[in-house]
Amino acid sequence: MNLKSYLALLYYRLRYKYQDLKLKLDIKIANWNKKGKERLTVMVIPHSEQKTINFHISYRAITIFIGTILVLLLISSINVLSHSGSIHQLTELNLSNQDFIRQSAKMKEEINGLHEHVEYYHNHVGALYGRLTGDNSKVAKGIGGAEKLSLGSDRNLAPGAEVFRLKEDVHNLKVANELTQEIISILKKRKNLIRQTPSIWPVKGYVLYPYGEYLNPVTARRDFNNGLDIGAFAGSEVVATAPGTVYEIGYTRNTGYFVKVGHKFGWKTIYSNLDRVKVKANQQISKNEVLGFVGKSENSPQYSLHYEIHVGTRAIDPFAFLNQIQD
């Protein structure tokens, strides 16, 4: 059998099946129409002698009525389910809204606490910067200047004010951080100056005669003291009050042995009334290094150390440079 004959045979078979299915369908439709035209009689017989009531209803009408009822029930069920779903969604939204309100209240409390810490940090850093430099122009508070934002009380901010308060805090943190970096830079620059400045007690003792005018016990006259006389035990160690170089060592009847030390930035210190000297001229010394030992002279009948600080050729009050704490 060739292909043409096979296709022709397949066509006639499909055509036969189609006609057979169409015939069966026509028969079923005809039977359904016939059945639908049949009538069902419903009789209503009253107990009294009234006339009997007859209702003639076709099966087709009954089928349409029942189908309509089923469709209405299906639509009603869908509406009920949809309404239930909407109620469930509204309930979930209400719960979510309550949770959002609680989270918002908690966030406000955290923002208030953060604001207090930022304000404390900013104020203290600004005050320290002002004391170090004397310049308060950089200590700007709040966004756009030094005026504080008027956003209501600290615990009851106006709606949406948290955003502006956060912006203000970010600005103040940035300013405080910049000031902190400048403070660190200033302190690093001054650290070397402080290290080279005479700032400790040269000997353990007490102030016998302060800087300025005093009554000289030897001459019974009022003299001017260019330094500080510190009473101490005989032989007490005398230490350098700052690192430097010994540029002169000598002895006189009025001062006893003395040591003069030169420091950076023009500082000079003088230690007199020494009984013995432990260092040599041109020797590099460090802070707290022993220079000699306490003695006495004709001008100081008591065991004491005469201590002077000079800036260039000018003598200044040493007491202002002492840490005033003895170990």
Q: Structure pTM? A: 0.47
Q: Measured between alpha carbons, how far is 273 from 253 in angstroms, rounded to an integer?
A: 9
For residue 36, what pLDDT is reported? Answer: 65
Instruction: At 275, give phi and psi (nearest 5°).
Output: -85, -40
8 A C-beta contact, residue 125 and residue 176: yes
Q: Measured between alpha carbons, how far is 149 from 171 in angstroms, rounded to an integer?
A: 12
What domains can you pick out in the chain, each with its CATH number? 3-81 (no CATH), 115-149+157-196 (no CATH), 206-316 (2.70.70.10)
For residue 308, what pLDDT is reported? Answer: 95
Q: How many residues does the chain have?
A: 327
Instruction: At 306, give phi and psi (nearest 5°).
Output: -95, 120
Phi-psi region of 232 (alpha: psi -120 to 50; beta: other; left: phi over 0): beta
Q: How many CB atoms lie within 10 A of CB 96?
A: 10
For residue 227, what pLDDT is reported? Answer: 92
Q: How far is CA 184 from CA 139, 171, 201, 287, in A?
A: 16, 20, 28, 24
For residue 152, what pLDDT is reported? Answer: 44
Record the tokens describing residue 5, joined without a space. 């004959």
Burial of residue 149 (CB within 10 Å: 0-12, 13-18, 19+) is middle
8 A C-beta contact, residue 326 and residue 201: yes
Q: Measured between alpha carbons, how far is 295 from 304 in angstroms, rounded to an integer?
A: 6
What tens-digit pLDDT sequence spans the chain (327 residues)? 678 788 888 888 888 888 888 888 888 888 777 766 666 677 777 777 677 777 667 767 777 888 899 999 999 888 888 888 778 888 888 888 888 888 878 878 887 888 888 888 888 888 888 877 777 777 765 554 434 444 444 445 555 566 777 888 888 888 888 888 888 888 777 777 778 889 899 999 999 889 998 877 767 788 888 999 999 999 999 999 999 999 999 999 888 999 999 998 889 999 999 999 999 999 999 999 999 999 988 777 789 999 999 998 899 999 888 865 444
Q: How many CB atoms lie within 10 A of CB 104?
A: 11
